[in-house]
Structure 1
Amino acid sequence: MRIFGTFLPPDVSMNDPSHQKGSSRGIYGAGVATQQFMTNLLQHGDFDEYHLFDPNRYTTPKEGEAESRFGLIEPDARLKLLMVEEFEEALAKNDYLAFHRPRGPAIDPWIYLRNQLSKKNIPITGVTHTLSYHEQLIDFLTFLMIGARPWDSIVCLEEPARRVVENLFHHLQTRLHQQFGLNIKYEGRLDSIPLGVDTQTYRPREKEILRRQFGLPLDKVMLLWVGRFSHYDKMDLRPLLLAFKIALGKCQKDKAVLVLAGDDSRHNYAERIKTLATQLGIEAHLIILTDRPRVDFPLLYSSADIFVSPSDNIQETFGQTVLEGMSSGMPVVCSDWEGYSISVLHEKTGFRIPTYWMECDGGICDYAPTSPWLLNQFYLSQSICFDVQQMADALSLLIEHDTLRLKMGLAARQHVLETYDWKIIIHRYIELWEELHQVAVSHPVPACTSLSWFRPQYFKTFEHYATSTIQSTTEVRGTDCAWATLGEDNCRPWYEELDIKVDPEIFDRILNLANDWITVAELEKNLSNYLKISTEKFRYHLLWLLKYHRLTLNVDTIGEMPRELAAGIVSKASDFETQT
C-alpha cells in the first residue's frame, strides 16, 4: 500500500468553492500554491491513502471533515485525518513513501519526531517559498543540528532558490566555525522542482466577451499586472509606469492600456500609483482593479494581451503569476530576477529585462535582527533596478506587432503545458519521493543513542517552581467530592482538549483504590497490574485528580515545606478564633 503523509494545516480549505468566490484581500501566494499542490496531489497522485496529521487536532474527525478541506462533496476513503499524538503508532504500523510539508521548508520538527520515535527510515521533504526573512536564519541553523538524513530534502523552486539555500547554509557554517570552532553540515539534500499551474483554469478565452464583462476597453492592447499592491514586500510599480509612458510615446496614439489588479488591503499603494500616473500624464491609459473576487482573476488573465511583472524584491522566490499569464496565452515582459530567469524563455515566450544590483546592504544587515522585516525588504528593493528603457522597448514592440504577440503567446502556453502543468509537477514529486525512499531503505536505521536537544525538559527545567515534588511514599486518599461524583459525567474533565490525554477508566480505578490512605507507589503498582499503563500516564491522571480535589494529600508524607505552609494557615486561623 502506497501512503503519503503530510502535516497540517496546509490551507487546503481554500479549495472550497465559496472561498474561491471571496475577495482576494489578504491572500499570499504561498497559501494559494499550497492549496493547489494538495488538491492536485489528490487528483494526480497514485497513493492508496493520504494521512493528514493535524497538530491542532484533539478529537476524532467528523464524517466528511477531511473531504471538506479539499472542497470535496463526495466521500473519499483515501483521506485520513490524524492527531499528532498518533504519529509514532502510525509510523510503526504503516510504510510511508514519504512525508511532505507543502507550506514551507520548516520540516525540522518532523525530522526530530521521526528520529526520536521511528524505527524506519522515512523521507521527509518540504518546499521553499519566501527565503528572505531574517528569522529564517534560525530555521536553517536548526536544520544543521536537527539530524537531517541523506533521504530528506529541501525542495527548492528552481535553481535560483536552490542557490539561496546553499548560500544560507554556507553563511551559517562559515560563521559558526569562525565564532565557535564548530564544523556542522546539513546532511540532507537540495532538490529543485517548480510550482505548477492549473492549465484548465488559466487558459485562453474569447477576449471580447470578457472585456465587456469587466467593462474594459475593446479596442486597446491590454497589458496586465497581477499581484499584491505593496512596495514593501512585492514590487515597486513606479518604474513600470515610467517604462509604460515611454512605450506609449513610441506607439500609435491611444493604442494600449495598463491594468493593475490585486489586493490593496494593507498599504493603500494603489492610490499612490494613481497619483503618479496623473503626474506622468498617462492616467487615461491606467485601470486599477483592487480586491476583486478570486474567481475573476483567471478571466482577467484571459482578457489581456501582454503580462508584465517588474519584480525587484528578494521576498519573491518564484513568481506564480508569470506562469498564470503564460498559461493564459500571453507573452510576458518581466525583470530578469529570481525564478523568472528560468520560467520565461527570452525572445520565445516573452522578454526578460536586465536587472542590476551591487553590495550596499551593510547597515541593513547590521540592524536586520531588530528591524521590521517589511522595512528590510523595502530598503533592499530600493537598491535593485531594471533597465527601464529596455522594458519600454519590449513593451512597445509587443504593443505594435500583433503577429509577434500571438506567436509568443502560443509559445508561452505550450511551454507551460509541457513544463509546468500540475500533473507534470506532481509526477516529478512522486519520482523524487520514490528515489529518496530507495535511498532510505538502503541504509540501516541510525541508532537514537540520546534524547535530542530539540526535545524540551519541562519538568526538570521548572521543577523548582513547585513547593514540593510528590514522592512514591506520599500518601493520597479520595475526598468526599470524589465519592459524590464517582462514575458521573461531572467527574470528567471540563475541557475537550483533554480527551486525548486522560481516560475516565483510569480516574475511576484510582478513586476505587484510594478509599483510604495509600502511597503513590502502592497505587501505581495496583493500577499497573490492572490496566497496564505507563508511569507517566498514571502520574498525569493522579495529578489531575489532586488538582480538582478528587484526591487529597497527606502533607505529613510529602515534605517539610508543605507542612510548614499548612501549619501556618492553621496557626493563623487559630489566632483569629482566639481573638474572636
Structure 2
Amino acid sequence: MNTSTALNCVIRVPAKDSYSTSGPTLMGRQSANEGFLTSWFRHSGHAEFWCMARFRDEAQVFARIGEQVHQGRQAKPVYRWIAQQQIHRIRSVGTLYAPGPQVADLAWMRRRDALASATDFSIVGMTHTSCELSIQDGLANMLTAPVYPWDAQICPSVSVQTMVQRLLDDEAAWLREHLGATRVQSPPLPVLPLGVDCAALDLPAADKAQHRARWRQQWALSDRDVCVLYMGRLDLRTKANLLPMLDALQLAAQQLQAENGPRLHLVLAGWFASEWDENQLRAAVAQVCPDVRVVFEDGRTPEARQGVWHAADLFTSLVDNIQETFGLTPIEAMAAGLPVVVSDYDGYRESVRDGVDGMRIRTWQPAAGEGIDLMDGHADLAIDYRDYVSRASAFIGLDIAQAAMAYAQLARDPALRQRMGQAGQQHARRDYDWVQLIQRYTALFTELARVRQQAQKVSHWHHHGQHHNSQWGHRHPRRSDPFHSFSHYPTHTLSGTLTLLPGPLLPTDPKAREKALAQLLERPVYAGIKKELDKAQLQQLLHQVAQAPQGLAWSSWSTSDKETPPVLRHLGWLIKTGLVRVA
C-alpha cells in the first residue's frame, strides 16, 4: 500500500546510465535525471515504485538506485518492473514519465499494444537540450502521433517552452499547407523547473567551514583571495565558450591589482570533453588571463560535487550556446549560498534575478534569417552537430566589460557577496528545491488524470498554441534558422540600429589593433567561422570605431553592396571578443 494519496507514476528507464552521474562522460541531462529520480524516491511518499524498461538489467539499476536512497528505512519499499512490450500495464498506475522528448514514440507504443487504449494512461516527457535534430524531430512528431491533451511535454523554463511552441507552430503551419489540415492537436507544454537537493548543498556551518578549509588549502588560497568557481563540462564547442569569461576575469584582475584589491583565482571544476578541449583551454588560460591563477579540478568526483561550492566566493557561468536550455549549476550555486554571475541568456534569464541573487551579463544574437546557412549545412550533413552549435555560438555576443565589472564588484565587496548569496539561497529553497517540486509534478499527473477521465465527454480538441508563421520556420519547421528558433534567448537582437563603441580589449594603436584582431582570429575555437570573417572589412570597421569614441552608428558604416556573408552577425563575434561594445 502507498503511504501517499498523490498519484504515482511509472518511470521509463531508456538505458542503464539514464539516471546516473557515475560514468566518465557526465552530461547535464544525466545530472538532472538523477536528481529527479532520487527525489521521487525520497519525497513522493510512495511505498511502491514502478519503472518501464526494455530489459531486466535496466530495471535492476532502477531498483538499486531506490535501495540506496531508502537505505536505513524500516519499511522497505517495493520496486516493480513493467516490460516495455507490456505497456498496457501502466493503466493501473495512470502516468508514464519519460526523461526526454519521447512522448511521440511512446504514444505509438501505446497505440500498438492491443490491450491498451488511448485513455488508459498519460505520457509525460521532459525537455532538456532542444537543438539536436533528432530531438526536434521527436518534438515535432507529437503533432502527427497519437498524442492527446492528457499527455504532456514538460519544459523546465519559459525559454524552452517558447522554443518548443515555436517549433510546433511552424510544423502545424506546414501540415496545414501541405495536407490541408484543419485541426492540429498539440499537447500541453507545462513549465516545471528542474530542481536541486538544497539540503545537500546548504550544510551546517561547521561542515561548510570544514569543506572550505580543506579545498582552499588544497588550492593554496589565502583568506583574502577571491575564488571564482565554474562547474560543468569543459567543452568549448558544444557547452560554453569559456574564452569571454577568461577575458573578463583578466580585466577584473587588472582593475583589482591597480587598487591593491584581492587576487582572483578561478577554479574550473569539470571534466574535459576531449583532448582538443583540454589542450585549447590550458593554452587559453596561460595566454588570456595571466593575472588570474587557474586551478583545474575534476568535477565528477562526489567529494568535489559536494565540497567545492563552499570553498568558492562566487560562481560564474557565461553560457553562449543554443544547446543550453535551463542550467542547473547556477541554482546549485545559489543553494550553496554563492552569488552568481551569469549570461543573460536562455533559462538563466528566469532562474537568476539580476541585482538580487547575482548579476546577469547582457548578450546579443543575430536576427532570424542570419543563420540559415548554418542550419542548411547541418541538415545536409555538411557540418556536424558540434560545428553547428559552435558556429552559432561564435556570433552570440556577450558584454565582457560588464562581466569584468561584476567580477570586480563582487570581489571587493564581501557584504554584497553575502547579501546576494543569502537571497539566492532563499530563492533556491522556495522555487527549485526538489522537496517542493515533486509536489508540483504529482499535481500535474493529477490534472492530466482528470482530463483523461473526462475525455469521453469531449467531442473535439482545440490547439491553443500561438500562431507563428514566420518565413524562417516556414522553410522547414524542423530545420529552422537557429536564430529564429532561439531568438528569445539573448538580451538583445543584433540590428542595424546599434551604435558601436570601442571595446575593453580594443587597442588604440593601429598596429596593435591589427595584431589583436589577428590573434583573436587564430583562436582555435573560432576555426569553423574564420573563413567567413573578412579580416580587411573587420579592420576597417575597428578603425572607424576607434576613431569614434562617442559611438559609430552601424547603419552609417554598413553600406557595402558586395555579396558577402551576413556581416551583421559578425558583430556578435566582435562583441564576444571584447573588440567592440554596444552603447
Fold equivalence (TM over 0.5): yes
Q: Which amino acid aligns with 2:54?
A: P
Q: For residue 362 of structure 1, what is the aligned residue in structure 2?
A: 372
CA contact (8 A) 1:265 1:291 kept: no
User: For the Cα contact (< 8 Å) 1:349–1:412, is it kept in 2?
Assistant: yes
* C-alpha separation in 2, matches of 1:380 and 1:148: 32
The match for 1:130 is: 129
Distance 1:99-1:221 versus aligned 2 partners, 3 A rule: same
The question of 1:211 aligning with 2:209 is answered no
Q: Spell out, residue by residue over 1:367-391, the C-alpha distance to the aligned partner (whole angstroms, 9 max, x if none).
A: 2211311111111111111111111
Offset, 1:57: 3.6
User: What is the alpha-carbon distance in structure 2 between the residues aligned to residue 291 and residue 432 of structure 1?
Assistant: 34
| Structure 1 counterpart of 2:450, from 420, 435, 438 | 438
- Within the candidate set 341, 355, 358, 1:350 is matched to 358
Change (3 A) 1:69 1:372: farther
Offset of residue 14 of structure 1 = 5.5
Q: Aligned with 1:79: secondary structure?
A: strand
Deviates more, 1:179-188 or 1:315-324: 179-188
How far residue 203 of structure 1 moved from its aligned partner, in angstroms, is 2.3
Contact 1:239 1:388 in 2 (8 A): yes
> Matches of 2:62 and 2:127 in 1, distance apart?
28
Amino acid at match of 1:364: L
Q: Is the 8 A contact 1:152 1:188 kept in 2?
A: yes
What is the match of residue 185 of structure 1? 184
Contact 2:299 2:305 in 1 (8 A): no
Pair 1:98 & 2:106 matched: no
CA change 1:47–1:144 in 2 (3 A) is: same
Tell me, yes or no, if structure 1 residue 39 matches structure 2 residue 38. Answer: yes
**Is the contact between residue 230 and residue 236 of structure 1 (CA under 8 Å) also seen in structure 2?**
yes
3-state SS in 2 of match to 1:154: strand
C-alpha distance in 1 between matches for 2:160 and 2:129: 9
The 8 Å contact of residues 67 and 79 in structure 1, kept in 2 or not, is answered as no
Match of 1:236 in 2: 241
* 1:289 and 2:289 matched: no
Kept in 2: contact 1:12–1:39 (CA 8 A): no
Partner residue in 1 for 2:392:
380
Q: For residues 426 and 309 of structure 1, what CA distance do their matches in structure 2 show?
A: 27
Cα distance in 1 between the residues matched to 2:299 and 2:335: 23
Q: Secondary structure at the match of 1:271?
A: helix
Counterpart pick for 2:251 among 241, 246, 249: 246
Task: Give the AA of the match of 1:415.
Answer: H
Structure 1 runs not aligned, ≥5 long: 448-580
Give the aligned partner of residue 320 of structure 2: 312
Counterpart for residue 109 of structure 1: 105
Deviation digits for residues 159-198 of structure 1 (CA, Å, limit 9, x no counterpart): 1100010011122222333445445623311100000001
Instruction: Determine if contact 1:327/1:413 at 8 Å carries over to the other structure.
Output: yes
In structure 1, the partner of 2:519 is none
Q: Specify the code of the residue in structure 2 equivalent to 1:423.
A: V
Question: Which secondary structure state, in structure 2, belongs to the residue aligned with residue 163 of structure 1?
Answer: helix
User: Matched residues in 1 for 2:292 and 2:396: separation?
Assistant: 29
Q: Once the two structures are aligned, what percentage of the paired residues are identical?
A: 25
- SS state of the match for residue 125, structure 2? strand
CA distance in 2 between counterparts of 1:295 and 1:9 reads: 28
Aligned to 1:86: 86
1:298 corresponds to: 306
Contact 2:101 2:139 in 1 (8 A): no
Give, in whole Å, the separation in 2 of the partners of 1:209 and 1:154: 44
* TM-score, length of structure 1 as denominator length: 0.70
1:152 maps to amino acid: D
Please tell me the root mean square deviation across aligned C-alpha atoms, in Å. Answer: 2.6
CA distance in 2, matches of 1:352, 1:149: 39
Residue 239 of structure 1 aligns to a residue whose secondary structure is: helix
Distance verdict in 2 for CA 1:294–1:171, change over 3 Å: farther
**1:178/1:87 CA distance change after superposition, 3 Å:** closer
Q: Note closer, same or farther for the CA distance 1:271–1:349 as it changes in structure 2 (3 Å cut).
A: same
Instruction: Name the amino acid aligned to 1:256.
Output: L
Identify the residue that residue 4 of structure 1 maps to in structure 2: 9
- Cα deviation per residue 1:546-567 (whole Å; 9 max; x = unaligned)? xxxxxxxxxxxxxxxxxxxxxx
CA shift, 1:402, in A, is 0.7
Greater relative contact order (CA < 8 Å, ≥ 6 in sequence):
2
Hey, what's the Cα distance between the residues in 1 that align with 2:29 and 2:289? Answer: 36
Distance 1:212 1:353 in 2: 28
Contact kept, 8 Å, 2:268 with 2:296, in 1: the verdict is yes
Distance of 1:441 and 1:14 partners within structure 2: 31
Please list the CA deviations of residues 46-84 of structure 1 after superposition, one character each: whole Å capped at 9, or x if unmatched: 33532211113499x78x972356535578443102212
SS of alignment partner, residue 148 of structure 1:
coil
Structure with higher Rg: it is: 1
Provide the C-alpha distance between the structure 2 equivalents of 1:349 and 1:435, rounded to a whole number of angstroms. Answer: 33
Which residue pairs with 2:410 in the alignment?
Answer: 398
Aligned-pair distance for 1:351? Answer: 0.5
> What's the secondary structure of 1:368's corresponding residue?
helix
User: Retained in 2: the 8 A contact 1:126–1:154?
Assistant: yes
Distance in 2 (alpha carbons) for counterparts of 1:398 and 1:166: 38
For the structure 1 residues 140 and 39, does the alpha-carbon distance in structure 2 shift closer, same or farther, using more than 3 Å as the test? same
- Separation in 1 of the partners of 2:372 and 2:332? 36
Q: 1:161 to 1:267 in 2, by over 3 A?
A: farther
Given that residues 121 and 445 in structure 1 are in contact (C-alpha distance below 8 angstroms), is that contact kept between their aligned partners in structure 2? no
SS in 1 for 2:227: strand
Query: In structure 2, how many angstroms separate the alpha carbons of the residues matched to 1:291 and 1:307?
Result: 14
- Provide the rounded CA distance (Å) in 1 between the counterparts of 2:406 and 2:173: 42
| 1:321 aligned partner | 329
- State the Cα distance separating 1:137 from its structure 2 match: 3.0
Q: Is the 8 A contact 1:157 1:192 kept in 2?
A: yes
Structure 1 counterpart of 2:345, one-letter code = W
Farther-moved stretch of structure 1 (234-243 vs 277-286):
277-286
Consecutive unaligned residues of structure 2, counting only runs of 5 or more, are: 460-583
Offset from partner CA, 1:298-352 (integer Å, 9 cap, x none): 2011110110000000111100111111111100000001110010011000001
Superposed CA offset, 1:366-417 (max 9, x none): 1221131111111111111111111111111100111000110111111101
Deviates more, 1:254-263 or 1:435-444: 254-263
Change (3 A) 1:216 1:175: farther
**In the TM superposition, what is the alpha-carbon distance from 1:25 to its structure 2 partner?**
3.1
Question: Equivalent residue of 2:133, what SS?
Answer: coil
1:289 positional shift: 2.1
Q: Shift of the alpha carbon at 1:443?
A: 1.6
- The answer as to 2:337 corresponding to 1:332 is no
